[in-house]
Amino acid sequence: METKTYAGISEEYAKLEHANIVLIPVPYDGTSTWQKGADKGPKAFLEASENMELYDIETDSEVYKQGVYLTDAVTENTSPENMVDAVHDVTKKYIKKNKFVTIFGGEHSISIGTIRAFNEMFPSLTVLHIDAHADLRQRYNGSSCNHACAVYEASQNTNLIQVGIRSLDIKEKSIMNLDKTYFAHDMAIDDSWMDSAIDQMTENVFITFDLDAFDPSILPSTGTPEPGGLFWYETIDFLKQVFAEKNVVGFDIVELCPNEIDKSSDFLAAKLYYKMLSYKFQKDITEDDYDNAYNNKPLTNNLSKYKEKDDY
């Protein structure tokens, strides 16, 4: 990848030792079924980030001063399963280094690995899944690591809350917890979904953000655009409340499928990422080292098949 530091920040803020934030690019597009191109997402996102102002007006902060370490891209693509394992391992490695870990995809199947890592490290994890699609299939096209299966595992072993949903197969409805699902058509006419969703979250929250949750009028560059999506201010208003009221332990953003002509989606993704960081560290006015407070002890909310096999 051509970009040397996140958003072109100086080396002083980009070194791992001093960075409270880690950004892992995963340019993977192995299982997408319609438009290809999510593999180019991280590069377009990083280029847009370099052209963005690094002062956030709303929070009156320059969150990059927390330090953002940009890792090498995860390029494992020999199989969906191997990719998920690689994402899981690298995500967990940086959680163990006590960093605030963020991941930029790539297609949504990468989140199987990110969620698995966070669920192993933080007790009673809520997964806040913001997406147009339910992604609850147990298998698709012969694999459980397909983008259509992104949160099936999370539905089985985390507190999964789904927001913005407007497309699903009828079979997914039997897996879905309707009390914890906020459909776009209901959200459009009543904003009580925000408080309701937050009320159902545990303290530790991981956010997996599929950019196709946004309305295609503001974010057209995604693999499977669906009409009737979220707009900018309602989205960041909701995220701001989540960051204020819960311990957000990390997040991923996926499914940017860049378009050569129109760069506005790349820029939206860059601003969304920076906004989420700004909200996360808003309260942290000191420059002390961040403590992600991951739990080192064996957790009870995990499936036994994911044993610790790694040494860092």
Q: Name the token pair of 310.
A: 């790694």
Instruction: State the DSSP string of 112-141.
Output: HHHHHHHHHHSSS-EEEEE-SB----S-BT
Task: Using CB under 5 A, pick the residue from 107, 212, 252, 266 that binds Mn ion.
Answer: 212
Q: Minimum distance between the CB of residue 126 and Mn ion, rounded to whole angstroms?
A: 19
Nearer of residues 212 and 252 to Mn ion, judged by Cβ: 212
> Residue 163: which H helix or E strand, with range?
strand 159-165
Nearer of residues 56 and 131 to Mn ion, judged by Cβ: 131
Which single residue is written with the structure tokens 């209901």?
Answer: 186
Nearer of residues 193 and 209 to Mn ion, judged by Cβ: 209
Measured CA to CA in angstroms, residue 23 lies from 12, 91, 150 at distances of 16, 10, 20
Residues numbered 248-287 forming contacts with Mn ion, rule: CB under 5 A: none
Q: Minimum distance between the CB of residue 196 and Mn ion, rounded to whole angstroms?
A: 22
Sign of CA dihedral 165, 169, 175, 177: positive
Nearer of residues 107 and 120 to Mn ion, judged by Cβ: 107
Nearer of residues 212 and 266 to Mn ion, judged by Cβ: 212
29 near Mn ion, rule: CB under 5 A: no
Nearer of residues 158 and 208 to Mn ion, judged by Cβ: 208
What is the layout of strands, in order, in the sheet containing 100-105?
Answer: 68-70, 21-26, 100-105, 247-254, 204-210, 126-130, 159-165, 181-183
Tell me the number of residues near Mn ion by CB under 5 A: 5
172 near Mn ion, rule: CB under 5 A: no
Stretch that binds Mn ion, among 55-63, 124-132, 237-245, 267-275 (CB under 5 A): 124-132
Residues numbered 192-211 forming contacts with Mn ion, rule: CB under 5 A: 210
133 near Mn ion, rule: CB under 5 A: yes
Task: Using CB under 5 A, pick the residue from 131, 215, 252, 266 that binds Mn ion.
Answer: 131
For 190-259, strand residue ranges (E) read: 204-210, 247-254
Task: Name the closest residue to Mn ion (Cβ).
Answer: 133
HSE (side-chain half, CA atoms, 13 Å) at 200: 19
Distance CA 136, CA 167 (A): 11
Residues that bind Mn ion (CB under 5 A): 131-133, 210, 212
